[in-house]
Chain A
Amino acid sequence: MQVGPISRRRFLSTSAKAGAALAMGGAVTTFLEACSATPNASSAAASASGTVAVEIDEGQNANPFQWFNPNMKAKFGATTNIIGLPFVGQYEKIVAEMVTRSSVYDVLVFPPQMLGDFVSNGFLAPLSELGNESDFNLTDVLPAYRDPNLRRNGKLYAAMYDGDILQIAYRTDIFSAAGISQPPQTWDDFLNIAKELHKPPTQYGNAFLAQRGFCYAWFMNIFAALGGKWFTADMKPAINTDQGVQALQMLVNLKQYAPPNILQIGYQELNEAYLNGSTAMVVQWDDLALKAEDPSQSKVVGKNAYAPCPVRNYMPYSRVMAVSAFSKNQQNAYKVIQYMDSADVSIKYVYDPKCGEDPFRQSHLDASKVKDHLGNPSMPAAQAQSYVGAIKTCLTTGYPELSIPGAPRYLDILDLFVNEALAGSLTPSQALTQAANEWDSITASLGQDNQVKAYSDWVNAFHAAGVTY
C-alpha cells in the first residue's frame, strides 16, 4: 500500500489550505461587511435604468404594478419588473439578500412589522432624502397608518400600498331571524351570539383564523379590546397578564362555536367558510367584503353587514413600499413609489377584487368610490355603505401591529404559543408565560437599551398620530 498516511495527510492539508483561502476569505469578509453595513446613499447616482425591480409577495398583490406599467412608462419613462417572493418566507428572503448589500431589488414591498429591522440595519434609503415628503400627500393618509408605519427617527422611509384591518362580517338574514338587532359590542357579547347561532353541521356560530402563521392577530384583536399592550415601558412583555390570559381563553372558547376544522382555517379557508354561507359571522381582513358581494365567488351576496370589532380593531400586516439602500436605480424607484401611492392611482386598485389591496387614504373612504372603482359593480349600495362605514370606525379604533426591530420574531413566537393554546397542548396561561420568556430572550439578544428606545419611539409615534395605544 503506497498511499501512505503521510502523503495522504499532506495532500489533504494542501487542498485544505486552498479551500480555506477560497471559502473563509470570501465569506468572512462579506459577513463582517454585512454586519457593519451602513446605508450607501451614494449609489443612487449610479446608472439609472428604465426598469425598476420591485420585490413583492407573489400573486395578486403584484398586479397593480403591472396594470400601471404603461402609464408609468408614459409619465417618467420607467417600468417595473416584479420579483415575486413566496408569501411565507418573504422576510427570510429579503433579509438574506439585503445583508449581502445586494442591489437586486430597487423597490421593496413589505409589511410594516419589518420596518424596524430594515431601518435599523440600514437596508432602506429615506424617501425624505431622495425627494420631498410633500410628494406623498401624507395628510390624506389615515393617521393610524401614517407615521408609525412609515417614519423612523424623523425620516420618511416608506409609503403606503395596502392598509389592513380586521373587521366583523356578519349575516343580516341569520341575525334578524334570531332576533339579534345589532353586531356584538363586547367580546362576551360576541361569544354569546356565536353560541346562539351555532347549529352544526349546517351553520356555525363564528370562524376565525386559527392556523399557524397569523392566529396571533386574532388573539391581539381581543387582547387589545381588554386594554392589553405589547410591552411595559421597560420592555417587559405585557402579554402574560390577566387580560392576556382572558383574551386567549376567549379565543379558545370561541373554538367551540366554530367549524370543526377550525385549526385548519387559514386566510383562504376563512373566506371560504363565510362565502359558502355556512358561518354566521367572522372576523377577517376588510377585503372579505369585496369578495362577499361578488356573485362569482360568494353565495351570500347582499345578505351581509360589516361592523367594527368590539372596542378595538387590530391592524395585522398591511404593505408599504420603500427604496432599497443598495439600489442602483433609486431615483426611478422613488418615482414608482410616489406614483403608486398617489391618491389618483391608488383609488383605482384598493377596491379592485382582482388584487388584495385595501384602502389607506381619507380620500378612499367614500362609499360612491367603492362602486365606481370596484371590478364587480354588483356590490349593493347598502353593503358599500356598511363596508366603508365600518372601515372608518375601525380605523379610529385601530390597534397597531408591532414594528420595532425584531418584530417579525416577536410575532412569530407569539403566534407559535397562541397556536399551542388553540391546539390544546398548553393552557392560555402556560402559553403566554412561555411566549413572554422567549420575548425576553429576543429583547436581550437585540440589546435591552436599543429595544426600550425603539419601543418608546414607536409608542410616541402613535400618540402623535392621535391613535390610542
Chain B
Amino acid sequence: MTSTAAHSPFPSGRAVPTPVTGGRGGLLASVVGVAVGSVFFLFPIYWMLVTSVKPPSEWLTSPPVFIPDRLYFQNYTDALFNWGGLKGLVDSGVVAVSATAIGMVLGTFAAYSLARFRIGGTNLSFFILSLLFMPPVAIGIPMFLFWSALGLVDTYIALIVQYLTFTIPFIAWVMKGFFEDLPVDLEESALVNGASRLRAFVDIVLPNVRPALVATALLAFIFNWNEFSIAVLLSRGRVTTLPFILPTMMESHYVLWGDIAAMAAVGALPVVIIAFLLQRYLVRGLSFGAIRSE
C-alpha cells in the first residue's frame, strides 16, 4: 500500500466518480441537500454573532430580532473586561498551547514506539485508546483530591498536566496510524549509515509526517481549548479558561444573552481562524485520525 498520508483526501479539480447518486437528478438533490444542511448548521452560528451585537432590550423580544438596527459592541467590552474574557483568552491560550506542545512531544515518541516496536503489544495500545473514552466524571473525585493534596488546584500546572490524560492518548492514537503507514526503508537506510535511532527519528521520520503532525497538533489544540469538565473541577478564580467562565455568566436573576454570545464568539474566534488557515490539514487529520485505528 502506498503512503496515504502523503496526499490530500480531497483531489480537487478532477472529475469525481459518483458512488451513489447518478445523473442530473442526483446532482440537484446534492446541491439542495448541502444548501439545506448549510442553513441548518450555520444559522445558530449566525444567531450567536447577531445576539452578540444586540443591546439588552433586544435579547428577549418576541418576535426575535434577526437583524439589529445598529451594532452594539458593549457586549464585547463587557465580556472582555467585566467578565474576564481577556484573561480567559490568555489562560485558555497558555493551557491549550502548553498541553498541546507537551502532548505532541510525549505522544509522538510513544506513538512511534508503539507503531515500530509494538511495545506493550496490543494491550498497551488498547489501554491508551480506552483512556480517550473514559468519562471524566469517573475519576473526578480522586483527581480533585490529588491536585489539592499537592496544593495545585486552580493553577496552570494542574490543568496542563490533567489535560495530558486525553491529549497524549489522542496524539498517540492518531500518530501511530501515520507511523504505521510510513515505509520502514527510510529509517533502515539511515540506521545502516550509522545514525542513532533518535537521529533517524528526528531527521528522517518526522519530516516525512510533517503534515500529520500539524493536523494532529491542531486537533489536540481544539480539544484543549474547548475542554470544560476538568476545568470546572480544577479551576476556581485564578486560572479561568473561557469554557469555564461561560456558565458563571448564568446568574441567579438574569441570563445575559448578549454578553454570553459575545464571550462565546470570543472563544470561538481563535479556533475558527486556525481551522480555516489550516483547513487542508484539519480535514486530513480528522479523517486519518479516525480511519486509522488499532
Contact = CB atoms under 8 A, between A and B. Distances in A.
B120 A57 contact: no
A462 B226 CA distance: 48
Interface stretch (A85-93, A114-122, A233-241): A85-93
B30 interface: no
B118 A29 contact: no
A59 B252 contact: yes
A107 to B, nearest CB: 14
Nearest to A62: B251
Interface stretch (B42-50, B90-98, B148-156): B148-156
Looking at B119, B149, B150, the one whose CB has the most chain A CB atoms below 10 A away is B149
A59 B120 contact: no
A354 B233 CA distance: 31
Interface residues of B, number: 29
Nearest to B236: A104
Looking at B148, B233, B248, B250, the one whose CB has the most chain A CB atoms below 10 A away is B148
Given A26-B149, A27-B149, A30-B148, A61 B121 contact: no
Interface string B147-178: 01110011000000000000000000000000
B256 to A, nearest CB: 8
Given A8-B120, A8-B121, A60 B145 contact: no
Contacts of B252: 57, 59-61, 87, 267, 356
A31 B144 CA distance: 10
B144 A96 contact: yes
B250 A86 contact: yes
B248 A85 contact: yes
Given A87-B250, A88-B250, A30 B236 contact: no
Contacts of A93: 236
A104 B153 CA distance: 10
Given A86-B248, A89-B247, A100-B145, A3 B117 contact: yes
B142 A23 contact: yes
B136 to A, nearest CB: 14
Interface in A210-235: none
B132 interface: no
B145 A31 contact: yes
Nearest to B124: A8
Nearest to A82: B237
A272 B60 contact: yes
B146 interface: yes
A26 B118 contact: no
B248 A84 contact: yes
B149 A59 contact: no
A347 B149 CA distance: 43
Contact of B247 (A3, A86, A97): A86
A61 B145 CA distance: 30
B253 A267 contact: yes
A59 B117 CA distance: 56
Closest 7 CB pairs of A and B: A59-B251, A26-B149, A87-B252, A100-B148, A27-B145, A30-B149, A83-B237
Given A3-B118, A100-B145, A104-B236, 17 more contacts: A3-B117, A8-B124, A26-B145, A26-B149, A27-B145, A30-B148, A58-B248, A58-B249, A60-B254, A61-B252, A83-B236, A86-B248, A87-B251, A87-B252, A100-B153, A268-B255, A272-B60
23 contacts: A3-B118, A8-B120, A23-B142, A27-B142, A27-B145, A27-B149, A29-B149, A30-B145, A34-B145, A57-B251, A57-B252, A59-B251, A59-B252, A60-B253, A83-B237, A100-B148, A100-B149, A102-B148, A104-B237, A267-B252, A267-B253, A268-B254, A356-B253
Interface of B: 60, 117-121, 124, 142, 144-146, 148-150, 153-154, 232-233, 236-237, 247-255
